[in-house]
Amino acid sequence: MSTQNPKNRPSPTQARAARRERRQNRRKFTRVFIGFAIGGVALLLILGLILPMLGNLGGSADADKVPDGPGKQIESDGQDHIDEGSEHPSYRTVPAASGWHYRQPLAPVSWGIHTEYIPEEKRIHNLEHGGISIVYSCAEPISDECKQLVESLTSIVDRAREANLKVVMSPYPGMATKIALTAWTFIDAFDEFDEDRIKDFINAHESSPNAPERYAN
């Protein structure tokens, strides 16, 4: 039988304080738990928004498989390096998807956004390295519609570069279509902006085994 000394028993005030502290601790634990739960849900929601925006830009599971599309496959014009100003036969397509191009250090050009036309002899070296070229044609003066096109293309290229993909974008005055995508021996040309079409082309052809020097930067 317990014979606890009454002097060791907590006073009613102390007992109430202890119960109040326990309740506060339980509430604090509950708030922390709810905070972690809300944070986890928020993170999942953010990832759910970001990943579809990236549209799988970041490589394909079949990285070693030679693609047969999307886009039209063109017979190769070879990969001869030439000196600046050297004459050469005409390319099979406009824009070109293979063929004669300048040797380093004249090419390749830096990846990302360019606001001026890139000569074919430089741009093709980027394709040889497994890169993707996105070119667009805007009539002068540039319309609001074409400005929007450039902004939309820029957004895709920025995200691709964030994923460390080799993509270069530049204007191509006088081209028959508003937009053209090229990889080594592949081309897809069209007039209406289509984000999924562009992403599919990038994912299929960027650094694909089809490019002669796909591991070069």
The CATH number covering residue 178 comes to 3.40.30.10
Region 29-39 average pLDDT = 64
Average pLDDT value for the chain: 85
Say which amino acid occupies 108.
Answer: P
Q: Quick check: 114 and 123 in contact, CB under 8 A?
A: no
How much is the pLDDT for 65?
Answer: 77
Region 114-137 average pLDDT = 97
How many CA within 13 A on the CB side of residue 178? Answer: 17
Q: Is residue 212 part of a domain?
A: no
Q: Looking at the structure, do residues 32 and 123 belong to the same domain, yes or no?
A: no
Q: Is residue 5 part of a domain?
A: no
Q: Is residue 16 part of a domain?
A: yes
Q: Is residue 84 part of a domain?
A: yes
Region 165-187 average pLDDT = 97
Q: Is residue 33 part of a domain?
A: yes
Q: Could you tell me the pLDDT band of residue 142, with boundaries at 50, 70 and 90?
A: confident
Q: Could you tell me the pLDDT band of residue 185, with boundaries at 50, 70 and 90?
A: very high
Q: Looking at the structure, do residues 184 and 122 belong to the same domain, yes or no?
A: yes
Domain limits for position 178: 72-205
How much is the pLDDT for 140?
Answer: 83
Q: Looking at the structure, do residues 131 and 179 belong to the same domain, yes or no?
A: yes
Q: Looking at the structure, do residues 82 and 49 belong to the same domain, yes or no?
A: no
Record the pTM: 0.72
Q: Looking at the structure, do residues 76 and 176 belong to the same domain, yes or no?
A: yes
Q: Looking at the structure, do residues 32 and 90 belong to the same domain, yes or no?
A: no
For 38, phi and psi rounded to 5 degrees?
-65, -40
Q: Looking at the structure, do residues 50 and 128 belong to the same domain, yes or no?
A: no
Q: What is the pLDDT of residues 45-81, one digit of tens each?
A: 655 554 454 455 655 445 577 888 899 999 999 999 9
Q: Is residue 181 part of a domain?
A: yes
Alpha-carbon distance 107 to 129, whole Å?
A: 11
- H/E stretch holding 98 reads none
Residue 84 has pLDDT above 60, yes or no: yes
How much is the pLDDT for 2?
Answer: 47
How much is the pLDDT for 39?
Answer: 66
Q: Is residue 175 part of a domain?
A: yes
Q: Could you tell me the pLDDT band of residue 158, with boundaries at 50, 70 and 90?
A: very high
Pick the more confident residue, 134 or 34: 134
Domain count, the chain: 2
Q: Could you tell me the pLDDT band of residue 156, with boundaries at 50, 70 and 90?
A: very high
How much is the pLDDT for 56?
Answer: 54
How much is the pLDDT for 122?
Answer: 97
How much is the pLDDT for 61?
Answer: 43
Question: Token pair of 135, please?
Answer: 């070119």
Q: Is residue 61 part of a domain?
A: no
Q: Could you tell me the pLDDT band of residue 93, with boundaries at 50, 70 and 90?
A: very high
Q: Looking at the structure, do residues 40 and 140 belong to the same domain, yes or no?
A: no
Residue whose token pair is 């017979």: 75
Q: Looking at the structure, do residues 46 and 119 belong to the same domain, yes or no?
A: no
Q: Looking at the structure, do residues 177 and 108 belong to the same domain, yes or no?
A: yes
For 187, phi and psi rounded to 5 degrees?
-145, 145
Q: Looking at the structure, do residues 35 and 125 belong to the same domain, yes or no?
A: no
Q: Looking at the structure, do residues 20 and 79 belong to the same domain, yes or no?
A: no
How much is the pLDDT for 20?
Answer: 72
